[in-house]
Amino acid sequence: GVASAQSSVTLFGIVDLAARSVKNGNAGSIKSVSPNGQVSSRLGVRGVEDLGGGLRAGFWLEGDLSADDGQAAGQSWQRRSTVSLIGSFGEVRLGRDYNPVFNTFVSHDPFAYVGVASTGNLRSRFYATPVGNAGLAARNNNSISYFLPAMGGLYGQVMIAAPEGARGNKYTGFRLGYAAGPLNFSGAYGKADQTGGMVDDATSLIFGGSFNAGFATFHASYEQADYSTTKRKLATVAAVIPTGTGAFKAQYAKASGATLIGLGYVQGLSKRTSVYTNFGRIANKGNNVYTASPSGPAGMRAGQTSTGYDVGIRHDF
Amino acid sequence: GVASAQSSVTLFGIVDLAARSVKNGNAGSIKSVSPNGQVSSRLGVRGVEDLGGGLRAGFWLEGDLSADDGQAAGQSWQRRSTVSLIGSFGEVRLGRDYNPVFNTFVSHDPFAYVGVASTGNLRSRFYATPVGNAGLAARNNNSISYFLPAMGGLYGQVMIAAPEGARGNKYTGFRLGYAAGPLNFSGAYGKADQTGGMVDDATSLIFGGSFNAGFATFHASYEQADYSTTKRKLATVAAVIPTGTGAFKAQYAKASGATLIGLGYVQGLSKRTSVYTNFGRIANKGNNVYTASPSGPAGMRAGQTSTGYDVGIRHDF
Amino acid sequence: GVASAQSSVTLFGIVDLAARSVKNGNAGSIKSVSPNGQVSSRLGVRGVEDLGGGLRAGFWLEGDLSADDGQAAGQSWQRRSTVSLIGSFGEVRLGRDYNPVFNTFVSHDPFAYVGVASTGNLRSRFYATPVGNAGLAARNNNSISYFLPAMGGLYGQVMIAAPEGARGNKYTGFRLGYAAGPLNFSGAYGKADQTGGMVDDATSLIFGGSFNAGFATFHASYEQADYSTTKRKLATVAAVIPTGTGAFKAQYAKASGATLIGLGYVQGLSKRTSVYTNFGRIANKGNNVYTASPSGPAGMRAGQTSTGYDVGIRHDF
């Protein structure tokens, strides 16, 4: 990144492009170049200013980067756009930000919620209609958060998102966690208020934990979404095995109606650059049509299997 | 900002987010997080190159930053995008830029044309149909301006905006001012040519001045827009009272059919960071429905009162 | 540009604005301010990281900058968005990039494919329906390229663009060239697969060369596009005559149905800033309505003449 002398203002980003193939049962396969093989490509500006007396001000503007086609829709800052005041009291943060439930989920997803091996392929449908609105899944506009300061290993967040006149845009959530030595676990709860077509509020609840055993780090999470009489569940287990400058990653997940197996290998070429390959396979049951990536062909029949693999280059700046 | 060694190229911006409530008469109130509590949030790149012999080249690209939702519409440079040649002869500037009348108005608006206390809440409707096109209000595409060089306290601007085949896009305007010691006053005139649905050209005329009395700076302005038989008027008076690291701001404005009272307090935490609160109240008469902010609820009845307040964090980089 | 200490991450761009007039036969003339008098205005971020052992990683994000109106459509990176691994083996590059045929064409166009004097005014229609898709003309999404390493004066590129399920998006092309002393020549071939409305694949073939005679550099190119029974041809010759800190540029081009004369003069004020003027004249035959710029008026009759001139400021950062 480009940093100034004074306080830090940094222009940063990731360009991650992968050659990918996805096969969706009878619908055949599609070859593509995808901007999110290992993580989501992104571009951003962020900074921190030391105000003295332990007080700091900070901002963070980060947008998606559709590096395969130059982002036809134009640069936005929808990944995160916030301003913060940080002190011994903790952090007050306003803007568009990740919600407490997503913060817990992604901290136990070694595939960073993207790519053919990611549990995001199950979870993205998890919060589809009628369970709730998009804000319940990952990010909320118009949010005000308070984060606990460092207190031993305890950490936590409370978030309220202003409805701005649209009742269903209101989101309230909180997260509480504990990290010490090899152990890190947290739980979170979120609620999106009933809006237009909904007959009830929608809620989500998650627990997740990890244990670093030295030769490998193991992760597990369990998430549940409730809306009226609909209840959806997602359980994940994963392992990351470091190999000097690289890492093997493996993951198994079970959602209502589908299971996922994800495998990956990353070879670091420097702290900022790596090459990698991933493989993912989703087996559907009943009426389900989960796929290993949105970049596969449409028209797969219910209950079929979707597989995907890719090989790519990732460069952080 | 991030500045290079050589000549200056700076990545700059402001993230300003406020928790806000606006009550519009019978229509009730809306709570929101707004990206323009004290000033408009923005992101830009600008630079100056010294060409030798007193000649300089400069550019300025600045866009709105909808920091509350990550700017769904994508990053643009519509606040200003210009290239300049600057020398002892003055400045020649091409691109999208502020027009002379707006430059006079905003130099006497202590609320920077945004937020619940701003006279912008009256003026934004001031140039609505049928008085003229958006270019008459604030900025013009395809403009060519000439700015006077420093000559004692005298300053001035002449602007022409190319119509590019759409007659009503043509804008011509000029501004002349004088600043010396505690005194600063200027006047400006602008004209947008008649286009499609219009039956006449539209013009605007403004005078503004300020006096720094030490314990406070006082501002006043008078603006008038003419189109066919329609004539709209806006008069403002304001005071800014510095308090060490902060400032009180107060403003009264009277437009055709409505009056505004605005109050604000800013507490600086550093040169680049501040917290603040603002209050605004617009009393409508007759058929008018001016509101203290666009973020309030729709459906207020004519002649009712709109009030708004907010509290926020502003960080410049 | 703004560069970091460590490896290079650079925020760069060009703001180039010109006052322009274009006359299109009976349709009259339009005056405009255009963001591409000498080159296309642009904004970008790029960087290179040294990975050791001769290996480098690089990225390039570059977008159009509609500096005359602040780019209403929002900042994109559609000029180029790529990630690369570079070593003694050459370069592997993924993303949205220029195709081999365009790379040859533009290396022999002293007017950089834009402005009133540019052969781009002929070539942009060259690849219009039914010859093929936009990807055949200049850039391709989802591309994977391999570039030869430095091998004497030899250079070359092979590109495949992934169709992503839309057959016509598939592009395959290659380029081979040789540069030594005053001489530089290359040839390239590209093919866009038949898609929806097409009855055949579309192909393009180009040869170009230049010779630096000291007092001037001379360029020539010949390009041919084939689709079903349609065959379009474009031949260009050009000269660039340096004058100390400036340069004269002259160009003649002949397409099927039209000829172009382009003249320009650039006066450098520094390595990064220049002022310039250009003149272009296109004489149409038969049914053709090529124009000296898209910023002229619509409605010219077939076979008429279009002329344009501009004067502008260009600033690189």
**C103 three-class SS:** helix
Strands (DSSP E) contained in chain C are 2-3, 8-24, 29-34, 42-52, 55-64, 80-87, 90-98, 139-147, 154-161, 171-180, 183-192, 202-212, 217-227, 230-243, 246-255, 258-268, 273-284, 305-316
> What is the residue type of B105?
F
- Partners of A55 on chain B (C-beta within 8 Å) are 269
User: How close does chain C come to A308, measured CA to CA in Å?
Assistant: 14
> What is the residue type of B29?
S
- Partners of C47 on chain A (C-beta within 8 Å) are 317
pLDDT digits (tens, 9 = 90+) for B74-112: 899 999 999 999 999 999 999 999 999 999 999 999 999
**Can you read off the two tokens belonging to residue A4?**
């100034």
- Partners of C317 on chain B (C-beta within 8 Å) are 9, 45, 47, 49, 59
User: How close does chain B come to A74, measured CA to CA in Å?
Assistant: 5
Where do the domains of chain C lie? 2-8+19-316
> What is the residue type of A300?
M
User: How close does chain B come to C35, measured CA to CA in Å?
Assistant: 8
Summary mean pLDDT of chain B: 91
Q: Is the pLDDT assigned to residue A228 strictly greater than 90?
A: no
- Partners of C70 on chain A (C-beta within 8 Å) are none
Burial of B199 (0-12, 13-18, 19+ CB in 10 A): exposed
Cβ-based neighbour number of residue B19 at 10 Å: 20
pLDDT bracket for residue A129 (50, 70, 90): low
Residues whose CB is less than 8 angstroms from the CB of residue A113 and which lie 6 or more positions away in sequence, other chains included: A40, A105, A106, A119, A120, A123
- Hey, are the CB atoms on C57 and A2 less than 8 Å from each other? no
Burial string for B145-173 (b: 16+ CB within 10 Å, else e) reads bebbeeeeeebbbbbbbbbbbeebbbbbb
Dist. CA C267–CA B93, nearest whole Å: 18
Q: Is the pLDDT assigned to residue A278 strictly greater than 90?
A: yes
- Hey, are the CB atoms on C96 and A1 less than 8 Å from each other? no
User: How close does chain B come to C281, measured CA to CA in Å?
Assistant: 20
Residue of A15, A22, A24 best to disrupt the C interface, most CBs of C under 10 A: A15
Scanning every residue of chain C, which has its alpha carbon at the shortest distance from the alpha carbon of B5?
C2
pLDDT bracket for residue C72 (50, 70, 90): confident
**Can you read off the two tokens belonging to residue B214?**
């030490």
Dist. CA A179–CA A181, nearest whole Å: 7
Whole-angstrom CA distances from A150 to A60, A107, A147, A180, A208 are 20, 18, 9, 12, 20
Mean pLDDT of the region B147-174: 89
DSSP string of B229-242?
TEEEEEEEEEEEEE
Burial of A243 (0-12, 13-18, 19+ CB in 10 A): exposed
Chains that contact B by 3+ CB pairs under 8 Å?
Answer: A, C
What is the model's pLDDT at position B164?
83
pLDDT bracket for residue C133 (50, 70, 90): low
3-state secondary structure A82-107: EEEEEECCEEEEEEEEECHHHHHHHC
Cβ-based neighbour number of residue A239 at 10 Å: 17
What is the model's pLDDT at position C5?
35
What is the model's pLDDT at position B3?
44
- Hey, are the CB atoms on A63 and B75 less than 8 Å from each other? yes
**Can you read off the two tokens belonging to residue B184?**
């600063």
Q: Name which of A45, A80, A85 is nearest B11 (Cβ-Cβ).
A: A45
Mean pLDDT of the region A161-184: 89
- Hey, are the CB atoms on A76 and B71 less than 8 Å from each other? yes
> What is the residue type of A28?
G
> What is the residue type of A268?
G
pLDDT bracket for residue A2 (50, 70, 90): very low
Q: Name which of C75, C295, C297 is nearest B74 (Cβ-Cβ).
A: C75
Asked if A73 and B74 touch (Cβ cutoff 8 Å), the reply is yes
- Partners of C81 on chain A (C-beta within 8 Å) are 15, 65-71
Dist. CA A75–CA A54, nearest whole Å: 34
> What is the residue type of B220?
A
What is the model's pLDDT at position B131?
55
User: How close does chain B come to A70, measured CA to CA in Å?
Assistant: 13
Residues whose CB is less than 8 angstroms from the CB of residue B292 and which lie 6 or more positions away in sequence, other chains included: B22, B24, B116, B117, B121, B260, B280, B281, B282, B306, B307, B308
Asked if A108 and A209 touch (Cβ cutoff 8 Å), the reply is yes
pLDDT bracket for residue B301 (50, 70, 90): very high
User: How close does chain B come to A54, measured CA to CA in Å?
Assistant: 12
Asked if A46 and A58 touch (Cβ cutoff 8 Å), the reply is yes
Dist. CA A273–CA A265, nearest whole Å: 14
- Hey, are the CB atoms on B96 and C70 less than 8 Å from each other? yes
Asked if C165 and C175 touch (Cβ cutoff 8 Å), the reply is no
**B196 three-class SS:** coil
pLDDT bracket for residue C152 (50, 70, 90): very high
User: How close does chain B come to C84, measured CA to CA in Å?
Assistant: 25
- Partners of C4 on chain B (C-beta within 8 Å) are none
- Give the residue from A116, A126, A63, A55 showing the smallest Cα distance to A91: A55
Paired sense of beta strands C246-255 and A217-227, if any: unpaired
Q: Name which of C45, C74, C144 is nearest A11 (Cβ-Cβ).
A: C45
- Partners of A267 on chain C (C-beta within 8 Å) are none
User: How close does chain C come to A31, measured CA to CA in Å?
Assistant: 5
Q: Is the pLDDT assigned to residue B5 strictly greater than 80?
A: no
- Give the residue from A264, A299, A265, A261 showing the smallest Cα distance to A283: A261
3-state secondary structure B139-185: EEEEEEEEECCCECCEEEEEEEECCCCCHHHCEEEEEEEEEECCEEE
- Partners of C58 on chain A (C-beta within 8 Å) are 315
- Hey, are the CB atoms on A77 and B67 less than 8 Å from each other? yes
**Can you read off the two tokens belonging to residue B105?**
């108005």
Dist. CA A237–CA B267, nearest whole Å: 49
- Give the residue from C29, C190, C18, C191 showing the smallest Cα distance to C112: C18
- Partners of B313 on chain A (C-beta within 8 Å) are 57, 83-85, 92, 94
- Report the residue count for chain C: 317
CATH class for the region spanning B32-316: mainly beta
CA angle C271, C272, C276 (to 5 degrees): 95
What is the model's pLDDT at position A3?
44
Cis peptide bond N-terminal to C297, omega within 30 = no
- Hey, are the CB atoms on B65 and A78 less than 8 Å from each other? no
Return the percentage of chain A with pLDDT > 90, whole number.
75
Summary mean pLDDT of chain A: 91
Residues whose CB is less than 8 angstroms from the CB of residue B251 and which lie 6 or more positions away in sequence, other chains included: B109, B110, B111, B117, B119, B236, B237, B238, B239, B260, B261, B262, B263
Cβ-based neighbour number of residue C132 at 10 Å: 29
Q: Name which of A1, A68, A273 is nearest C57 (Cβ-Cβ).
A: A273
Q: Name which of A11, A15, A68 is nearest C59 (Cβ-Cβ).
A: A15
User: How close does chain C come to B164, measured CA to CA in Å?
Assistant: 5
- Partners of C275 on chain B (C-beta within 8 Å) are 85
Burial string for B69-91 (b: 16+ CB within 10 Å, else e) reads bbbeebbbbbbbbbbbbbeeebb
Dist. CA A278–CA B35, nearest whole Å: 40
Asked if C137 and C93 touch (Cβ cutoff 8 Å), the reply is no
- Partners of C89 on chain A (C-beta within 8 Å) are none
Q: Is the pLDDT assigned to residue C285 strictly greater than 90?
A: yes
- Hey, are the CB atoms on A74 and B73 less than 8 Å from each other? yes
Residue of B69, B245, B276, B316 best to disrupt the A interface, most CBs of A under 10 A: B69
- Hey, are the CB atoms on C69 and B165 less than 8 Å from each other? no
Cβ-based neighbour number of residue C68 at 10 Å: 27
- Hey, are the CB atoms on B15 and A85 less than 8 Å from each other? no
Scanning every residue of chain C, which has its alpha carbon at the shortest distance from the alpha carbon of A35?
C95
pLDDT bracket for residue C230 (50, 70, 90): confident
- Hey, are the CB atoms on B67 and A82 less than 8 Å from each other? yes
Q: What is the CATH number assigned to the segment(s) C2-8+19-316? A: 2.40.160.10
Of the CATH numbers 1.20.1440.230, 3.80.10.10, 2.40.160.10, 3.40.50.10490, which one belongs to the domain with range A21-316? 2.40.160.10
Cβ-based neighbour number of residue C286 at 10 Å: 9
Scanning every residue of chain C, which has its alpha carbon at the shortest distance from the alpha carbon of B78?
C70
Dist. CA A111–CA A119, nearest whole Å: 8
Pick left, alpha or beta for residue C122 (phi over 0 → left; psi -120 to 50 → alpha; otherwise beta): alpha
pLDDT bracket for residue B163 (50, 70, 90): confident
ipTM: 0.89
pLDDT bracket for residue C130 (50, 70, 90): low
Dist. CA B260–CA B281, nearest whole Å: 6
User: How close does chain A come to C71, measured CA to CA in Å?
Assistant: 10
What is the model's pLDDT at position C9?
87
With an 8 Å Cβ cutoff, the interface of chain C facing chain B consists of 1-3, 11, 13, 15-19, 30-33, 43, 65-76, 269-270, 272-273, 275, 295, 297, 312-315, 317
Dist. CA A43–CA A48, nearest whole Å: 17
Burial string for A26-60 (b: 16+ CB within 10 Å, else e) reads ebeebbbbbbbbbbbbbbbbbbbbebeeebbbbbb
| Residues paired with residue A213 on neighbouring β-strands, in sequence order | none
| Tokens 């272009």, located at residue | C280
